Each structure stands twice: as structure tokens, then as C-alpha cells.
Homo-oligomer: A and B are copies of this chain.
């Protein structure tokens, strides 16, 4: 069974790792959000791609989910000593990735090619694709601060500003990265990972041509909310600020036209069936690698049952 997983950062990366444990490497392709990509200190940074790749390579920081395991911050300290803002926490090992990516892009390589090279270097076997090689820039529209770059909102302002909407600059002109439409065409099912629907999954689904490539495929989403809360990140807060109940039901309704089945946490029993599609209640919190595999197997069994 060939699976395409759509993923953003930490939560998405964990389920991708579960799927990578459950499936032969050649049967899994992750299509990863690049709307959060940004340039910082002249470096091209792709936070979600890095989180997915680091997680699959087993070199992600297990405490934070992002960044690299056992990293240090000597360069960042030297940047701080030279008067630079350091709200974006660049670890020394992590920096090697950004330096390499920046150098290769400057040489004319495309993001998908650089990602493939990094995956080879890290011995990541499943295919990891950026949603697009073209720059897409997620803007967060807020009451207090106006239009913010995503990382400004997410990291520097710690998701505190009240959100009124999003813009994905460049998305209408973006082409799916090489391999994206082929992977979808060849897949038996698509898994929408437990990532932020608004800023991680929506940009992927809005890449021209991508949504129509899903039509007729089984699409299963895993809720990123448990008991109305997010494990990490601002998804629940954003649902509220945009006038929705922060609940798995709202997530299912958000994805409704696409969904073949939906996976939510046992804690969300009382939320009731959000849509007339197959539902699976299970434990969606992934505390360790076995949890990831268990959830991935639940999702794959659900797909097989469709």
C-alpha cells in the first residue's frame, strides 16, 4: 500500500516517522509544508522540512521535537555578542543544514533536490518532498501587529497575537515540486498528519493542482487536537480566534470535502461524530517512537478497511 503523508512540523513529523516504521521506505512519500520557510541572517531555513527529515533520521531533539538532538548554541551566542537578535534558536548542528541548503540554492539547485541530497546524507529512506520548489510565504493577519511573517508570529511573538486570517504569498503561482503529483497519482491513500490545519496543511492543499490530485483517493486525517487542545502550537487558539470551536469536530469539518475517514482521540468521544464518514477513536498522543508506530498502524488499518 503506497501512502502519501501531508505534514507540517513536529506532530506531523511524528506520524510520518510512525508510517516510516510501518511501511517499506519505497511506499511512503511525505509532502511537507514550506509556507513557513524564511530567510534569516541570509540563510534559507525550511523549518518543517528539517523537522520531518531530522525526525526520520533519528537526529531530532526529543525534548522540543524541532532542531537537532544534543545541539549547542555557540554560533548563536557569538551572533548575540555581535548584537544580533536571537529569537530564532539556531543550534550549531542545525546551522550546518541551513548553510548547506543556502549554498546549494545559491548554486542554482532546487529545494526538492537539496532536500533529496540532505536525506541521502542523513540516510532518510522514505521520500521527503517540499510541497513546492517555489517560494511561498505564509503571512499571519493579526489585530495588534497587522500582517506578520509566520516565524515572527510563531517564534518571536510566541503565537500571542490574535489571528484574523492568513495569506499564502506566492502560492497561486507555485508549482508542485517535482514528484509531488506523481506520488499522489501512484498512492493508494493520503494521510493528513496531525499538523496545524490552517498553517501547515492548508498551504499544501492550496498548491495549484494538488487538491485535484486527491480526488478519488482515500484521504484520512488525524486530528491535531485532543480534548479541544493542541499538543503543541497554536491550532486550538487559532480555531477560537477565527470563531470556531477548538475541537476535533472542527478539524474534521475543516477538511470535510476531502475526507474519507477521520482519526481522533478517545478523549473526544463526547464530541460526537463530526461527519458521516468512518471515524476511528484511538490514542493520538505520540510520546515515543512506539506510539508513532501504533498510531500509524491504526491509520493504515483504517485505510485498509475503507
We find that the number of chain A residues with CB closer than 8 angstroms to chain B is: 31
* Assembled-state Cα–Cα distance A118/B97 (Å): 25
Interface residues of A in 117-137 (CB under 8 A from B): 118, 121-122
* Assembled-state Cα–Cα distance A118/B84 (Å): 11
The interface residues of chain B lying within 8 Å CB-to-CB of A103 are 41-43
The interface residues of chain B lying within 8 Å CB-to-CB of A78 are 68, 92-97
Cβ-defined contact, A83 with B121, below 8 A: yes
Q: Given the known inter-chain contacts A41-B103, A72-B72, please indicate yes or no for A96 contacting B79, CB distance below 8 A.
A: yes
**Of the residues B82, B92, B121, contact of A121 by C-beta under 8 Å:** B82
- Tell me if A99 counts as interface (CB < 8 A to partner B): yes
Cβ-defined contact, B118 with A92, below 8 A: no
- Tell me if A74 counts as interface (CB < 8 A to partner B): yes
- Tell me if A71 counts as interface (CB < 8 A to partner B): yes
The interface residues of chain B lying within 8 Å CB-to-CB of A121 are 81-83
Cβ-defined contact, B106 with A93, below 8 A: no
Cβ-defined contact, B84 with A72, below 8 A: no
Cβ-defined contact, B100 with A79, below 8 A: yes
- Tell me if A112 counts as interface (CB < 8 A to partner B): no
* Assembled-state Cα–Cα distance A77/B71 (Å): 11
* Assembled-state Cα–Cα distance A71/B74 (Å): 8
* Assembled-state Cα–Cα distance A255/B82 (Å): 38
Cβ-defined contact, A122 with B82, below 8 A: yes
Q: Given the known inter-chain contacts A82-B122, A118-B82, A121-B82, please indicate yes or no for A42 contacting B96, CB distance below 8 A.
A: no
The interface residues of chain B lying within 8 Å CB-to-CB of A122 are 82
- Give the distance to chain B from A157, nearest Cβ to Cβ, in Å: 22
- Tell me if A102 counts as interface (CB < 8 A to partner B): yes
* Assembled-state Cα–Cα distance A240/B106 (Å): 41
**Of the residues B76, B99, B118, contact of A43 by C-beta under 8 Å:** B99
Cβ-defined contact, B96 with A75, below 8 A: yes
Bits for A37-69, please: 1 = Cβ < 8 Å to B, else 0.
000011100000000000000000000000010
Q: List 18 A-B contacts (CB under 8 A).
A: A41-B99, A41-B103, A42-B102, A42-B103, A42-B107, A72-B74, A72-B92, A74-B74, A74-B92, A75-B93, A76-B96, A78-B94, A78-B95, A78-B96, A78-B97, A82-B100, A82-B118, A95-B95
Chain A interface residues (CB < 8 Å from chain B): 41-43, 68, 71-72, 74-79, 81-84, 92-97, 99-100, 102-103, 106-107, 118, 121-122
